[in-house]
Amino acid sequence: MESIDTDRLSLRPFRLDDVDAAYSWFGDSLVMRYTPTGPDAFPEKTRDRLEEYQAHQQRHGFSKWIVIERASSRPIGDAGLIVLDDPGWIDLGFRFAQPFWRRGFATEVGKAWVSAAFERFDLAELGAFVHPDNAASLRVLEKLGFRSQGERVVLGMRAVCFALKGRAAG
């Protein structure tokens, strides 16, 4: 799968020439405040992150992908699926540069990735985790049909954990 298109967005795997654009949100302390790793201190950290996503893509056929606003062709965030050994699920995640908050983009990419997970990748279940104070992401996951599984520590961060079963999984 080379890309995913929605009405307003296009998603594709990261390339290393995406580092500068991606650093604009990965290096933003406000965007990254609910992320266990926090903001990337330097563009080199973003490069390392993108290399990890590329390796994940090679292993699994999916990863976090860059999100591009189709109308402007601007990179605006990232979204996708990552295998998390602890807590032991395939995680849906998304984040956007601040100018693109509150426009429904997270729900739009979330729906696209849920569809891809269950229809293209034939996954049985997805997980997600959100810092309890991240009200916007909590709402997005609820809109997508995820069900809360309670709170626990994930990657060193207190989080509300969610699960969504595919049709085949019941």
Per-residue pLDDT at 1 exceeds 70? no
Q: Check residue 170 and give its pLDDT.
A: 46
Q: Are 125 and 165 in contact (CB under 8 A)?
A: yes
pLDDT per residue over 111-139, tens digit each?
A: 999 999 999 999 999 999 999 999 999 99
The distance from CA 29 to its chain's CA centroid, rounded to whole angstroms, is 17
165 SS3 class: strand
The one-letter code for the residue type at 40 is D
Q: What percent of the chain has pLDDT over 70?
A: 97
pLDDT per residue over 28-37, tens digit each?
A: 999 999 999 9
Please report, for residues 7, 42, 54, the alpha-carbon distance to residue 91 in angstroms, rounded to integers and kept in the order given: 24, 25, 16
Report all structural domains of the chain as residue ranges with CATH numbers, in order of start.
4-165 (3.40.630.30)
Q: What is the mean pLDDT of the chain?
A: 94
Closest-CA residue to 117 (of 149, 80, 88): 80
Per-residue pLDDT at 140 exceeds 70? yes
pTM exceeds 0.75: yes
